[in-house]
Chain A
Amino acid sequence: MDLIAEGIAKALALLTSFDPEVLGITLLSLKVSGTATLLSLLVGITSGTLLALAEFPGKRLLMSLVNTGMGLPPVVVGLFVTIFLWRNGPLGFLGILYTPTAMILAQGIIATPIVTGITLASVQNLPANLKLQILALGATRPQLVWILIKEARLPLLAGVMAGFGGVISEVGASIMVGGNIKGYSRVLTTATVMETSRGNFDVAIALSLILLLLCFVINYLLTRIQQRERPR
């Protein structure tokens, strides 16, 4: 038990002293996962809404694929992103393997199906005639998509939380495509893995606490927004 108590004490010390290395790791985590989530929102909300609206053969299959993608194992994503970005891989010329950019790419791929799937479900949950009502009001196709997204904004916030939660806590892909390079591509999760394997439990606990705190603050803010608008 001493191990944990000492760990927490050390963690608090690290936290309160604003250790520059820990601060850098935290900020990079936020930057990588935040950017990846934003990208996934852009792609996921648009494609989820379009998928909900469109009627075409094979729609059910595509929907099943999206829903499967919501549970995409990060290591699989990490593997394929690595292969694509490998020096003589299809995108090797970009030279971004083992950079934060590659991590954003991998995390974006993990979060996009989550956001797409939740968007799909949210838009399909709107009243069936709402689409007709919006078109009858004279909306063009882009206006229709925009209004439907606005109407589904509350359940969509759940998509934002799920997407962000999925990538900030992800470790497999980040290590594989980022390389956990000190001061460059090291984030909270990869650092925790490393410190634990070295037996530096106090540092690992400190990093974990920061990770939890970060998740809590972000989700608290999003929940506040969601509940403020909720029907009473």
Chain B
Amino acid sequence: MTTAPLLEARNLSVVRGGAEVLSIPDFTVAGNEVLSLIGPNGAGKSTLLLALARLLPLSAGEIRCRGESVMANRHLVPYRRRLAMVFQEPLLFDATVYDNVASGLKIRGLGRDELRRRVGEALELLQMTHLAERSARKLSGGEAQRTSLARAFAIRPELIFLDEPFSALDPPTRRTLTDDLERVLKATGTAAILATHDQMDALRLSDRMAVMHRGKILQSGPPVEVFNRPGTELVASLVGMENVLAGTVLDSREGLLTLALGEHRIAVPGRGAPGETVRFCIRPEHITLTSFDPAGGTSARNVLPATITAIAPMGIYQKLQIDCGFPLIVFLTQQSLGELHLAPQRTTFASFKATAVHLLRSGPDCHSTPKDD
């Protein structure tokens, strides 16, 4: 067997109305990989997904699936039958949930028994067996999108394309569905490309993240790396200012994790197995700086000595870059900055509560919001 990547694209170009709306010189997805595309509206995320699924005429370029070209017309249907696609709208058929989930399998001409088994599996996977006989018209938005996911997973795709699948849903529903999507992707080991403008989703779900802008991929890599080491100002502005870090679990007790991050120990609410690597983020406005070690004098559990590397104004805040062995970004008001006499190269202490840390993982802990003092 070859070791060719699951999906490979070279020199993709889509020209619409005389303008190049997509230009991707080189793009690869490995089997089992979850890749997220982030970027503002109009960045070309959907266009890239449609182009990769061969649902859009290409102006130039080549796409290979496991080393074999899928460019000729006779390749289109066999190629698309290895994929699945979930759009922002559920796009369900006017039929029952069962028939919707069965639709991809019916198109493939599956026999009755096999079809029933596979639909049953998919419904169970998405925990919606009880809705099987419900008309698609009578579903809530979340149920409809869940049906769309079940329809996609029922065909056991090698690669699933997800185009902003949850962005039309209300936040609680979106959270539940994201949890379920993460679970199903893991359970089935399906490779996925997820277009999203929700950075938390990208962080939680993906192994790799690509930042898109005006039809181009500006940077791609592990999410933590892209967030912490944006290659350009543009990428930095597109991924926001979150501090995204990775650490190793040392200890887990009473709902509190101790993580090793370089030489530092950080306390984070959550559960995990020792040795496990977890990602987490800290909002810049939840970090406080003091010019002395506040040990004992603060309710914050995490105190790290740091050096200030840069200060720049940013709206009502001052944006500080500090180095505690790893880079952190801190937002301070102009007033606090003046009171603390902070300046570049000065030593300081960064402190933040355990609850200020968002663990980027499924489960109830990852969405905890720190309370302001």
Docked Cα-Cα span, A13 to B185, in Å, equals 74
Is A132 touching B107 in the complex (CB atoms < 8 A)? no
B260–chain A nearest beta-carbon distance, Å: 44
In this assembly, does A58 line the interface, its C-beta being within 8 Å of a C-beta of chain B?
no
9-residue interface stretch from A117-125, A134-142, A166-174, A175-183: A134-142
In this assembly, does B246 line the interface, its C-beta being within 8 Å of a C-beta of chain A?
no
9-residue interface stretch from B60-68, B78-86, B207-215: B78-86
Contacts A137-B107, A138-B107, A147-B93 given; indicate if A132 touches B80 (C-beta within 8 A): no
In this assembly, does B1 line the interface, its C-beta being within 8 Å of a C-beta of chain A?
no
Is A138 touching B108 in the complex (CB atoms < 8 A)? yes
Contacts of B104 in A (CB 8 A): 137-138
Q: Which of A135-162 contact B (CB under 8 A)?
A: 135-140, 143, 147, 150-151, 153-154
A104–chain B nearest beta-carbon distance, Å: 33
Q: Which of B87-123 contact A (CB under 8 A)?
A: 87, 89, 91, 93-94, 103-104, 107-108
Chain A interfacial residues counted at CB < 8 A: 20
Contacts of A57 in B (CB 8 A): none
Contacts of B151 in A (CB 8 A): 137
In this assembly, does B186 line the interface, its C-beta being within 8 Å of a C-beta of chain A?
no
In this assembly, does A212 line the interface, its C-beta being within 8 Å of a C-beta of chain B?
no
Is B91 touching A130 in the complex (CB atoms < 8 A)? yes
Is A133 touching B91 in the complex (CB atoms < 8 A)? yes
Docked Cα-Cα span, A127 to B94, in Å, equals 12
Is B107 touching A133 in the complex (CB atoms < 8 A)? no
Is A136 touching B107 in the complex (CB atoms < 8 A)? no
Docked Cα-Cα span, A130 to B50, in Å, equals 13
Is A135 touching B55 in the complex (CB atoms < 8 A)? yes
Docked Cα-Cα span, A107 to B80, in Å, equals 43
Per-position binary interface string of chain A over residues 209-232, scored 1 when its CB falls under 8 Å from any chain B CB and 0 otherwise: 000000000000000000001011
Contacts of B53 in A (CB 8 A): 136
Docked Cα-Cα span, A136 to B55, in Å, equals 7
Is B94 touching A151 in the complex (CB atoms < 8 A)? yes
Contacts of A232 in B (CB 8 A): 137
Contacts of A88 in B (CB 8 A): none
In this assembly, does B77 line the interface, its C-beta being within 8 Å of a C-beta of chain A?
yes
Is B84 touching A136 in the complex (CB atoms < 8 A)? yes
B78–chain A nearest beta-carbon distance, Å: 9
Docked Cα-Cα span, A136 to B103, in Å, equals 11
Docked Cα-Cα span, A140 to B155, in Å, equals 16
Is B91 touching A143 in the complex (CB atoms < 8 A)? no
Of all chain A residues, the one with the shortest Cβ separation from B81 is A138
Docked Cα-Cα span, A232 to B136, in Å, equals 12
Contacts A129-B87, A231-B137 given; indicate if A136 touches B93 (C-beta within 8 A): no
Is A129 touching B107 in the complex (CB atoms < 8 A)? no
Per-position binary interface string of chain B over residues 126-158, scored 1 when its CB falls under 8 Å from any chain A CB and 0 otherwise: 000000000001000000000000010001000
Is B80 touching A136 in the complex (CB atoms < 8 A)? yes
Docked Cα-Cα span, A50 to B104, in Å, equals 22
Contacts A136-B83, A136-B84, A151-B94 given; indicate if A129 touches B103 (C-beta within 8 A): no
Of all chain B residues, the one with the shortest Cβ separation from A152 is B94
Docked Cα-Cα span, A139 to B80, in Å, equals 8
Contacts A143-B107, A231-B137 given; indicate if A135 touches B93 (C-beta within 8 A): no
Docked Cα-Cα span, A139 to B89, in Å, equals 19
Is A137 touching B55 in the complex (CB atoms < 8 A)? no
Q: When the two chains form the complex, which single residue of B85, B94, B103, B137 contacts A132, counting CB atoms closer than 8 Å? A: B85
Task: Give the one of B81, B83, B91, B104 with max A CB within 10 A.
Answer: B91
Is B103 touching A137 in the complex (CB atoms < 8 A)? yes
Of all chain A residues, the one with the shortest Cβ separation from B90 is A133
Is A138 touching B91 in the complex (CB atoms < 8 A)? no
B15–chain A nearest beta-carbon distance, Å: 16
Of all chain B residues, the one with the shortest Cβ separation from A139 is B107
Can you pick out 7 interface pairs between chain A and chain B where the beta carbons lie within 8 Å of each other?
A129-B87, A136-B85, A137-B84, A137-B107, A138-B80, A138-B155, A232-B137
Chain A residues proximal to chain B, CB less than 8 Å: 127, 129-130, 132-133, 135-140, 143, 147, 150-151, 153-154, 229, 231-232
17 further interface pairs, Cβ-Cβ under 8 Å (given A133-B91, A137-B104, A138-B155): A127-B89, A129-B87, A130-B91, A133-B87, A136-B55, A136-B84, A136-B161, A137-B80, A137-B85, A137-B103, A137-B107, A138-B80, A138-B104, A138-B108, A140-B77, A154-B94, A229-B94
Instruction: Identify the 5 closest CB pairs spanning chains A and B, nearest first.
Output: A136-B85, A138-B81, A133-B91, A137-B104, A231-B137
